[in-house]
């Protein structure tokens, strides 16, 4: 089948059973990984990017050729760069200097203008805090006004969770034959967890958020300590699993070594949480999670240092 554009390749990623990790750790139950790291922009954010732009064009909120602006840790920006390049919209990605440089290079290669915002005083490179994100949001708001642009607004816009409610979640449910008992996801914008909850919750699947155990952590793309996450406002979570930066790192490496799946920090955090769930409240069940992005986006970080 020949697709009309790369946008049509967004979705339909494989669901893989992690039997080698299960057996290595002696777990009771099943671990299922949704490989959204294989999407065109190497992250699950491609789904939200496509939905946001297509919805805005359909409603008239985004005019033909109008500039799009969005704050990003790099993944949403990459997805938007891809979609905007195909549909003819200039795209401006606004990102903290604390994010890995691979992300900015990839967005620029896809035609985006990348505006890097200095981190807050006392911040550490590679660790983006809530204070850093607030500075990025301020810059994105200013640029949106100055350019007469459309703001993609992944933290508040309804298209983000809807992409996962109508795409990610039904795919996981159908691919698993309706066998999953729990789903967990690292909380960034909350779109994946919120959207999947709308579809999977009524089917009896228990939903868990995944969060860093400390404010200072290397898991880019989330854990900002934001008090309001609109996409999770009406979500009934079974609980939240906290994960250390060390455990996220080690489980990203475990995913690569034992299953050949090259994911990033958040994928490691999700795997760590899924393992904890199978050891605890979900023992004997089937826990699914998303491999949120590719390990290629972390080659300049400590994720793969001495990983052999």
Q: What domain range is 139 assigned to? A: 45-151
Name the more confident of 47 and 126.
Answer: 47
Domain count, the chain: 2
In a domain, 245, yes or no: yes
Answer yes or no: is 172 within a domain. yes
pLDDT digits (tens, 9 = 90+) for 132-165: 889 999 999 999 999 999 999 998 999 999 999 9
Q: Which residues are catalytic?
A: 45, 266
Query: Same domain for 30 and 166?
Result: yes
For residue 227, the model assigns a pLDDT of: 47
Same domain, 172 and 29: yes
Tell me how many degrees the CA angle 191-272-154 measures, rounded to the nearest 5.
Answer: 15
pLDDT in tens, 280-295: 999 999 999 999 999 9
Q: What is the DSSP string of 20-75?
A: HHHHHHT-SSEEEEE-GGGSTTSBTHHHHHHHHHHHHHHHTSS-TT--EEEE-SSH
Summarize pLDDT for 85-127 with one digit per residue, the tens.
999 999 999 999 988 899 999 999 999 999 999 999 888 877 7
CA distance linking residue 80 with residue 51, whole number of Å: 10
**Domain assignment present for 1:** no
211 lies in a domain? yes
Residues 234 and 272 in one domain: yes
List the CATH number of the domain containing 88. Answer: 3.40.50.1100
């Amino acid at each position: 089948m020949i697709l009309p554009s790369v946008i049509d390749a967004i979705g339909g990623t494989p669901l893989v059973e992690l039997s080698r990790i299960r057996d290595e750790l002696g777990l009771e139950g099943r671990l299922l990984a949704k490989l959204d790291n294989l999407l065109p922009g190497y992250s699950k954010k491609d789904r939200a990017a496509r939905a946001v732009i297509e919805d805005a064009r359909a409603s008239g909120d985004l005019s033909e050729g109008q500039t799009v602006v969005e704050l990003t840790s790099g993944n949403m920006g990459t997805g938007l760069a891809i979609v905007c390049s195909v549909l003819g919209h200039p795209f401006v990605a606004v990102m903290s200097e604390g994010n890995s440089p691979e992300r900015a290079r990839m967005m620029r290669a896809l035609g985006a203008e990348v505006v890097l915002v200095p981190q807050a005083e006392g911040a550490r490179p590679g660790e983006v805090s809530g204070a850093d994100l607030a500075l990025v949001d301020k810059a994105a708001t200013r640029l949106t006004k100055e350019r007469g642009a459309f703001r993609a607004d992944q933290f508040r816009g309804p298209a983000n969770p809807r992409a996962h409610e109508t795409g990610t979640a039904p795919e996981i449910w159908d691919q698993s034959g309706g066998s999953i008992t729990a789903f967990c996801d690292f909380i960034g914008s909350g779109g994946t967890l919120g959207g999947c909850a709308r579809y999977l919750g009524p089917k009896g699947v228990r939903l868990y958020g995944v969060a860093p155990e400390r404010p200072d952590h290397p898991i880019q793309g989330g854990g900002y300590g934001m008090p309001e996450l609109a996409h999770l406002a009406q979500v009934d979570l079974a609980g939240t699993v906290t994960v250390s930066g060390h455990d996220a790192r080690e489980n990203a490496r475990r995913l690569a070594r034992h299953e050949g799946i090259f994911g990033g920090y958040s994928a490691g955090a999700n795997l760590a949480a899924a393992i904890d769930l199978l050891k605890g409240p979900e023992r004997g069940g089937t826990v699914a999670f998303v491999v949120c992005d590719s390990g290629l986006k972390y080659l300049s970080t400590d994720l793969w240092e001495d990983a052999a």
